[in-house]
Amino acid sequence: MFGFLFWLFFIGIVVAGLQDLRRREVDNWLNLFLLFAGFIFIFYRAIFENNIEIIFQAGFALIVMFAFMNLFYYGRIFAGGDAKLLIAMTVFFIGTNFGETLINIGIFLLFLMFAGSVYGMIYSFILYIRDSKKINKEVRRIAKSKWALRYWVVSIGVFLVIFGFFNWIFFLVGVVGLILLLLFLFAKALENVAMVKDVSGNELREGDWLVNDIRIGGKVIKADWDGLSLENIKLLKNKKKVKIKSGLPFVPAFLIAFLGYNFLREIVIEFFMRTLS
């Protein structure tokens, strides 16, 4: 459990987490190093153990992780650095057969989603405590917009139906609708207050997210999920103020999931085996 691969990825994720917390990005060289170091270890292991099958397992795991990397990236769940870190960890989940490899990947992803949810709530709560007055003010401002008012009207209408027919399904729909609205208002206000900042053009980095589209001459630089390219940065370098959005530093959730996977994997497998039997 605590062999070469464990320490390779443990140290690598810690370094990536420090980069993410400091600069909101993970260097490509680090992800490439973890990926190639892991596969080189597997090739040497295959040679010394005379076990060619492990190379096929590594190839299978790489295909699966590549699919999940694209799913999470294009589904806008992970940013580019997080998605690359996921595939960089491929060889850590190699099992004795294809089925075990899939199970290992699935268990890690479960830990990652759970860790991400808990970590995200704690991180958001800390940001809220730091700027609670500004965030509360922003919530009130957003709540006065037309779309929010329409949502409130629909939710109140659902509750009127409840009182008219006493149907628990309508009650549940109404409660869920109100909760989702409040969560969205909070998330949007938190983003506008705590995750948006102004920087000069020469401070921009590749991958930074614009808050709004910017027109430079006859060219429009889009505020899209891929972030700024080096070409975009050259066009913006002379601007005095550019509004960018910083995302949640998600790599710490990788560290939590990585440790959870190592220490609790067998317990999770045993739980699912008992549940299915």
**Tokens at 114, concatenated:** 């759970």
For residue range 18-66, what is the model confidence (pLDDT) as tens digits?
998 887 788 889 999 999 999 999 999 899 888 888 899 999 999 999 9
- One of 3.40.190, 3.40.1130, 1.20.120, 2.40.50 is the CATH number of 4-127+249-276, namely 1.20.120
Q: Where are the alpha helices (DSSP H) in 89-200?
A: 98-130, 132-143, 146-165, 168-194
Query: Cβ neighbours of residue 165 under 8 Å, at least 6 residues apart?
Result: none
Neighbours of 76 (CB within 10 A): 8
Neighbours of 175 (CB within 10 A): 14
Query: Cβ neighbours of residue 10 under 8 Å, at least 6 residues apart?
Result: 258
Return the residue matching tokens 């220490």: 263
pLDDT at 193: 76
Report the SS3 class of residue 166. coil
pLDDT at 1: 45
Going by their DSSP bridges, the two strands 242-245 and 196-199 should be labelled as antiparallel
Report the SS3 class of residue 193. helix
Rounded distance between C-alpha atoms, residue 10 and residue 36, angstroms: 16
**Tokens at 157, concatenated:** 């209408």
Encode 234-272: b = buried (16+ Cβ within 10 Å), e = exposed: ebbeeeeebebbeebbbbbbbbbbbebbbeebeebeeee
Domain boundaries, the chain: 4-127+249-276, 196-245
Rounded distance between C-alpha atoms, residue 69 and residue 60, angstroms: 14
Rounded distance between C-alpha atoms, residue 251 and residue 16, angstroms: 7
Q: How does pLDDT run along the chain (277 residues), one tens digit per residue?
A: 458 899 999 999 999 999 988 877 888 899 999 999 999 999 998 998 888 888 999 999 999 999 999 888 887 778 778 889 999 999 999 988 888 899 999 999 999 988 888 888 888 888 888 888 888 888 888 777 766 666 666 766 666 666 656 656 666 666 666 676 677 777 777 777 777 777 776 767 766 677 777 777 777 777 676 667 777 777 777 777 777 777 778 889 999 999 999 998 888 878 777 776 6
Based on its alpha-carbon atoms, the radius of gyration of the chain, rounded to whole angstroms, reads 23
Neighbours of 188 (CB within 10 A): 15
